[in-house]
Amino acid sequence: MQNPASPRYVSISEYNPKHNSDIPCKGGEAFYLLERTDDWCYVQSETSGSKGYLPSHLIQLDLTNEPWFHGNIGRIEAENLLQYSEPGTFLIRESETIKGSYTLTMIQIKD
């Protein structure tokens, strides 16, 4: 069940509902964001189609389908992927040192 008008998010941990309007989730489960406030997100489950609320700090934007996102690769591999690219070409990868963070690797103009 895909909703192309809504961004795809992934849960980062398990959540057990506290209210009837909440939706349960496991870590790594995909959702489409329908509405967001500071503390809550109204989402639709990609697998079941059910809708409900999740705490906003439990989901993050799913980057895996972006052409510039390369996931869990190291610095050397990132540099190798970009070595013959034009200046300004970049990729984003998961940080090797700070869990849950990302690193930008970019080709710059050489003087």
Rg (CA), the chain: 17
Question: Is pLDDT of 20 > 60?
Answer: yes
Average pLDDT over residues 96-110: 87
Which residues, in sequence order, are CB contacts of 107 under 8 Å at separation 6+?
Answer: 82, 85, 86, 87, 88, 89, 90
CA–CA dist 78, 104 (Å, integer): 9
pLDDT at position 23: 96
Contact in structure between 94 and 72 (CB atoms under 8 Å): yes
Q: Model's pTM, two decimal places?
A: 0.69
Q: What is the CATH number of domain 64-111?
A: 3.30.505.10
pLDDT digits (tens, 9 = 90+) for 40-61: 999 999 999 999 999 999 999 9
User: Whole-angstrom Cα distance, residue 11 to residue 55?
Assistant: 10
Domain edges within the chain:
8-61, 64-111
Say which CATH topology domain 8-61 has: SH3 type barrels. (2.30.30)
How much is the pLDDT for 4?
57
Q: State the pLDDT confidence band at 6, using cuts at 50, 70 and 90.
A: confident
The answer on pLDDT for 5 being more than 80 is no
Q: What is the pLDDT of residues 63-97, one digit of tens each?
A: 988 999 999 999 999 999 999 999 999 999 999 99
Average pLDDT of span 24-46: 94
Closest CA to 41 of 81, 79, 7: 7
Q: How confident is the model at residue 2 (pLDDT cuts 50, 70, 90)?
A: low
